[in-house]
Structure 1
Amino acid sequence: MQDYLVRGVASDGSFRIFAARTTNTVEEARIRHNCWPVATAALGRTMTAALLMGANLKGEDILSIRVLGDGPLGAVLVTANAKGQVRGYVQEPQIHLPSTPEGKLPVGAAVGKGHLHITRDLGLKEPFTGSVELVSGEIAEDIAHYLTTSEQTPSAVSLGVLVDTDNSVLAAGGLWLQLLPGTSDEVLDILERNLSQLPHLSSLIKDGKTPEDIIQRVTQDIEIKILESMPVGFSCQCSRERLENLLIGIGKEEVSAMLEEEGQAEINCHFCAEQYHFNKEDLQEILKRIDQKQA
C-alpha cells in the first residue's frame, strides 16, 4: 500500500491539519540501516514529522531535523522536501533497552536529554535554524514544543511506529494539527475532545485507517476542506557523481594517500547506507581531474 500524506484546512481558516501513512518509508529506512526496534521507532517518528512539516514547504525548500540527545542512540538526523521525499539515519542503530512498564519502546530513554534543531533552507542566503531543549525525547512532544515556543505556532503532534516481533515495521504514521490566529474557543474545545479520544496513530494505521480517516476523527463536528493528497517515500539525493566531486574537493593529497595506502576507496552515504566503490583506475582518473582543475 502506497504511503501518502493528506493536507487539509478548516473551512473558517482556524487551523491546518496534516496526516500521513509512512509504514513503507520507515520500513525502508529500517532495512537500509539495519535498525533495531528502538532506533526504528526514533528514526521513523522523526522522518514522519519531517514529512508532515515538509508539506508546508515550497519548490526546492529543504527541512532538516536534528535530535541531539545524550542517550545511547546518539544523533538522529533527517531531511525532507516539499515533494514528499525524506531520508535519515540514527547514529547508533543497533541498541537495545528494556520496554517501558506499559510495554512500549523506550524512545525517550534512548534519546536522552539534549536539544532539537530544525533548519529550513528556503534558498535564501542563510538557512533559518531554531532550537529547543528536548522535553521528553519521545519526538512528538518535542516537535510540538518546538513549534509552539520557537515558531509561535500552537500545535498538536502525534507520531507512531509499531514494530513487529521480527523487527519489521507493522505500521507508521503521523498527525500535525496547526492552530492559526483567531481560533474560537468552541473549535478548540471540539479539537481537544476529539484528540483526547484518538487512539494511538500506529494502532489506527495497523487497523487500516487512512490519513483521511484520521483527519475525519480529529475534525469531527468541524467543517474542513481537503487541499491535497501526495505520495511520500524514502529518497536520497546521493549519487556516484556527487561523491566523485566530493573526492575532487578533498584534494590531491588525500586522494593520493587513498591510492597509495589502499589502492581503492569505499564511501558510504550516511543517509541511505548506499556504498560506492572507487577502484584504482577511478582514483587515478579523479587525480587527473584535480590536476586539470588546478591547471
Structure 2
Amino acid sequence: MIKKKIEDRDLQEHLASLPEDGREVFLLHNDLIRVTAIQATNLINQMRENHELGLLETYVLGQAYLAAGLLSATVKGNDRIQLNIECGGPIGGVFVEAWAVGAVRGYLKHNPIPLQRQLTSLDLNELYGPGFLSVSKLLEGHKTPFTGQTMMAYGDLAKDLALYYQQSEQTPSLFVLSIHFDTAGQVTGSGALFLQAMPGCEDAVLSQLEQTAGRLASLGSFLSEGKPVSEYVQEQFASLGVRHLAHQPLGFSCPCSREQYTRYLQQLNQEDQADILENGPFPLELVCVNCNTHYQYEKFELASLLSKAGGGRL
C-alpha cells in the first residue's frame, strides 16, 4: 500500500496536533455495559486522500470505516471482520474490512456517488435505497466465514447495525458514527461508539443508557478540539461508572504490495501474458480497490518479470 500525502498544510498541522488514532474499551454500570470507542480523525483523512473522495463520499465511506473499526473489537489475533452493504440507491454499496489488530481498509462501489439533484442534508436513506447489510467474521483456522445479514430498515448505518445486533445476536446495542467537517469541508474530528448490553443487564439499566445516549455531545466535534476519546467517555458516562479495559492502535492500512501484483501477473497463463505484452496498454496499471494504490509496469519491465517467471519473452 502507498499512502498518498495530504497536501493541505492547515489540515496537516491540525492532524499533527491530535492524539493518535486508537480504539478503547470500557465497562459501565458494574460491568453490565461494554463500550468500544474509537478516535479516527487521521484514519478518515487518509482514507479520503487515498480514495480521492468528495465530501459526501467521505461521509458515507467514513461511516463504514468507523463501523468496521468498532466491530474489529469483537475478534482477536489474526481474525478480521467484513462489513458489506448491497443497495439499490445511488451509493450502490460499500465494502470494508478490519483486522483485530486495528487495520481498516475498503471502498465505495460508486465513486463519485451519482446524484440526481443537489443534497439538502446528509440523510442517506434515499441514497442507500433498499438494501442488505452483512457482517462476516473470518476467523483464523476456519475455512468459511461466519456471516449474518439483515435488511436495511433505516438507511442509517448506525441504526441498521444496532438492528443487526438485535436480530442476529439478540444483543441490545447502540452505535454512534461521528464525522465533523469544518466550514471548508475538511474532516477535523472523527470517532465512534459501540455500546452493548452484557448478559444480565436489566431493562432499567438499558433505559438509563438510552436516556444518556440521547443527550450525548457530538463526538466528532469533541475530538476536533484535540481531546482524547477516553476523556469523552469519562465525561459523558460519568454517572454510570466507567472502567477502562484495553487500548488498541487503529489506522488505514492495506496488505497489498507491488510484489503481490507482480506474482499475480507471473501466474497468468502464457496466452494472457503474451496478449498483455503485445497489446498493453503501457504503462500497465493495476489498482487495489481497497486502498486505491496504483501499481504501474513499463513494457520492458513487465517483459523481464514475465520472462523470469517462464512466461512472456523479451
- TM-score normalised by the chain length of structure 2: 0.85
- Residue 235 of structure 1 aligns with which residue? 253
One of 107, 121, 129 as aligned partner of 1:89: 107
2: distance between equivalents of 1:286 and 1:252?
Answer: 13
For 2:127, the aligned partner's letter is A
Per the TM alignment, residue 290 of structure 1 is displaced from its structure 2 partner at its CA by 4.6
Q: 5+ unaligned residues in a row in structure 2: which ranges?
A: 1-17
Per the TM alignment, residue 259 of structure 1 is displaced from its structure 2 partner at its CA by 0.8
Per the TM alignment, residue 209 of structure 1 is displaced from its structure 2 partner at its CA by 4.3
1:119 aligns with 2:136: yes
- Residue 64 of structure 2 aligns with which residue? 46
1:275 aligns with 2:275: no
1:184 aligns with 2:180: no
- Residue 276 of structure 2 aligns with which residue? 258
For 1:253, the aligned partner's letter is E
Matches within 5 A, 1:1-295: 1=18, 2-10=20-28, 12-95=30-113, 98-100=118-120, 104-123=121-140, 124-262=142-280, 264-291=283-310
SS of equivalent residue, structure 1 residue 55 = helix
Per the TM alignment, residue 289 of structure 1 is displaced from its structure 2 partner at its CA by 5.0
Q: Deviations over 1:204-255 (max 9, x none)?
A: 3234443213322443322232111222111111101111122234422222
Q: Retained in 1: the 8 A contact 2:265–2:306?
A: no
Report the identity percentage: 33
Distance 1:92 1:164, change over 3 A: farther
Per the TM alignment, residue 130 of structure 1 is displaced from its structure 2 partner at its CA by 1.1
Q: Deviations over 1:146-184 (max 9, x none)?
A: 111122222100101123344321221100001111102
Distance 1:109 1:38, change over 3 A: farther
Q: Retained in 2: the 8 A contact 1:264–1:283?
A: no
SS of equivalent residue, structure 1 residue 183 = coil
Q: Retained in 1: the 8 A contact 2:68–2:104?
A: yes
Q: Retained in 1: the 8 A contact 2:87–2:131?
A: yes
Per the TM alignment, residue 288 of structure 1 is displaced from its structure 2 partner at its CA by 3.3
Per the TM alignment, residue 196 of structure 1 is displaced from its structure 2 partner at its CA by 1.3
Q: Retained in 2: the 8 A contact 1:194–1:220?
A: no
Distance 1:204 1:109, change over 3 A: farther
Q: 5+ unaligned residues in a row in structure 1: which ranges?
A: none
Alignment RMSD, CA only? 2.0
Distance 1:78 1:267, change over 3 A: same
Per the TM alignment, residue 132 of structure 1 is displaced from its structure 2 partner at its CA by 0.9
2: distance between equivalents of 1:255 and 1:192?
Answer: 59
Distance 1:183 1:170, change over 3 A: same
For 1:280, the aligned partner's letter is K
Distance 1:108 1:206, change over 3 A: farther
SS of equivalent residue, structure 2 residue 238 = coil
1: distance between equivalents of 2:216 and 2:105?
Answer: 28
2: distance between equivalents of 1:164 and 1:211?
Answer: 19
Q: How many residues matched?
A: 289
Per the TM alignment, residue 59 of structure 1 is displaced from its structure 2 partner at its CA by 0.9
For 1:276, the aligned partner's letter is Y
Comparing 137-146 and 106-115, the one that deviates more: 106-115
Q: Retained in 2: the 8 A contact 1:65–1:117?
A: yes
SS of equivalent residue, structure 2 residue 74 = coil
1: distance between equivalents of 2:221 and 2:56?
Answer: 17
For 2:163, the aligned partner's letter is H
- TM-score normalised by the chain length of structure 1: 0.90
